Amino acid sequence: MRDRKVIMVSPVTRGCGQLSIQVAVERGRVVGAQVIGGLYRGWERILVGRDPADAPYLVERLCGICSAAHGTASSVMLDRVYGIEVPAKGRLLRNLMLGAEFLQNHLRHFYLLVMPDYIEPPPGLGYDSQAGGDRRFSWEANQRLVDHYWESVGIAQICHQMLALLGAKAPHAHGIVPGGATVDPGTDVLNKLASLLARVRSFMEERMLPDTSLLAAAYPDYFRIGAGPGNYLSYGGFPDPGGVPAFTPGVVRAGIGEEVDINGITEYLRHTWLDEDDVLDPYKPGAYSWVEAVRYQGEPMEVGPLARAAVGGEEVNSSVMDRIMARSRETSRIAEWMTGWLDEAAAANGPAYLQPGEITELEAVGVIEAPRGSLLHRVRVEGEKVAAYKLITPSEWNFSPRDDRGRMGVAEQSLIGIPVFDPGSPVEVGRVARSFDPCLYCATHVIGG
């Protein structure tokens, strides 16, 4: 059609990894979309031939934002390989380290990645306004959000301080290993953690949650923009000392909840620059991304804070603003859980770590909830070495290309129908993409045999 325009947003800034989005616009609305993961990394190949115990340290290098999540998922997987029952204190300390990472991720996402799409930045922020002509805050409200933007940088740093107290460093902590946690903190460390956590919680209650409400009030139309397929998945996460997860595991499809079946997960390659033999093929006809099309029983599934809320029994809508609000609410909830885990860790008896012994299982899976959504690590061991390793990350779910039947991925579906008021500055496309908290560093891998 004469009215049709094809727009390429490349790269999508203020996200992790090389994400590009191409949309076709007719009569001011998106009618076609391709989400493109433009980076090949090949982590599964890097791990082959290594000692399985090396995996947590190596996979943490996938990402500097969610490194503890990869270390935790890999350690949960190796707990099964070595037949270890992690001690109660070890579970609590893992929760605290991963919880600190959730807090820093969600804070950074809201203020540093999302907020610049809506505010007029001051000169010192280092970039032009991304909001185009769609700026709706008063000068006073805009200044308040800019002030909190700067303040959030220090608060996110405090979250990493909490992680480093138990993990020796952040990112890429050393304290998360198969068997539990390597640091068994004394009262002084736990008191320090409690003090830091109190400062973070104060910022959330006094800044982040009110700022989220302010954004939602200024942009109510974004509750009607960016709807995904309405399917949600969560593996569950943050187990209590007895192993019961704080995040509910399950699947919601067409409003109906069910148990999640790991065997129902399939990946498709028709639109990916890979073939069935793990061979890279950048000239493959019809391919447009390095990300595989991951599906659950043939369906695209949204993962992340909104999905966790849906699977946990909350009534949710699928939109840009619903995702943003779900993440802020989850941040507050996790901080509250962490206060309880600190008290339990202080009262817990017994060790925090059990030394792995002989390998008892040659194949194992570790699944957890990471800040961006559901994370899976799978290993096959032969001759006490990694023979195959597989990762399925949150951004693989949310930013997958079309599958072999031509069905769009979650983010692609969420772009269909959104308005684009200025094709020369398609701010709406970026707002939809960033509502998922994209990380294409984590999403671009290869299929294992």
Residue-wise pLDDT tens digits, 135-148? 899 999 999 999 99
Residue 275: pLDDT band with limits 50, 70, 90: confident
- One-letter identity of residue 59: V
Lowest mean pLDDT among 276-285, 359-368, 423-432: 276-285
d(CA 362, CA 387): 10
Q: Checking DSSP bridges between strand 363-370 and strand 373-382, what pairing results, if any?
A: antiparallel
Structural tokens at position 178: 């198969």
Domain ranges, ordered by start, for the chain: 5-443
Return the pLDDT at 130: 57
Each residue's pLDDT tens digit, 24-78 = 999 999 999 999 998 887 788 889 999 999 999 999 988 878 899 999 999 999 9
- Average pLDDT of the chain is 92
Lowest mean pLDDT among 20-29, 102-111, 282-291, 309-318: 282-291
Q: Checking DSSP bridges between strand 245-247 and strand 237-239, what pairing results, if any?
A: antiparallel
Residue 449 scores a pLDDT above 50: no
Residue 303 scores a pLDDT above 60: yes
Return the pLDDT at 165: 96
Looking at the DSSP assignment, which residues form a beta bridge with residue 29? 26, 419
Radius of gyration of the chain (CA): 21
Using CB atoms within 10 A of its CB, is residue 192 exposed (0-12), middle (13-18) or buried (19+)?
middle
**Whole-Å CA distances, 319 to 221, 222, 226, 349:** 10, 7, 5, 45
Question: Cis omega before residue 11 (within 30°)?
Answer: yes
Residue 124: pLDDT band with limits 50, 70, 90: low
Residue 446 scores a pLDDT above 50: no
Using CB atoms within 10 A of its CB, is residue 357 exposed (0-12), middle (13-18) or buried (19+)?
exposed
Residue 207 scores a pLDDT above 60: yes
DSSP-assigned letter for residue 128: -
Return the pLDDT at 122: 72
Q: Checking DSSP bridges between strand 232-234 and strand 29-37, what pairing results, if any?
A: unpaired
Residue 218 scores a pLDDT above 50: yes
Q: Checking DSSP bridges between strand 237-239 and strand 256-258, what pairing results, if any?
A: unpaired
Return the pLDDT at 401: 97
Higher pLDDT: 251 or 123? It is 251
- What residue has token string 């890279």? 280
- SS3 of 57, please? helix
Backbone torsions φ then ψ of 420, nearest 5 degrees? -130, 105
Return the pLDDT at 444: 59
The rounded percent of the chain whose pLDDT value lies above 90 is: 82
Global pTM exceeds 0.85? yes
DSSP string, 275-341: -TTS-B-TT-TT--BSS-EEEETTB--B-SHHHHHHHTT-----SHHHHHHHHHHHHHHHHHHHHHH
Return the pLDDT at 375: 97
d(CA 197, CA 252): 33
Return the pLDDT at 2: 61
The CATH class, in words, for 5-443 is mainly alpha
d(CA 301, CA 51): 33
Backbone torsions φ then ψ of 161, nearest 5 degrees? -60, -40
Strands in 256-258's sheet, in edge-to-edge order, are: 232-234, 250-253, 256-258
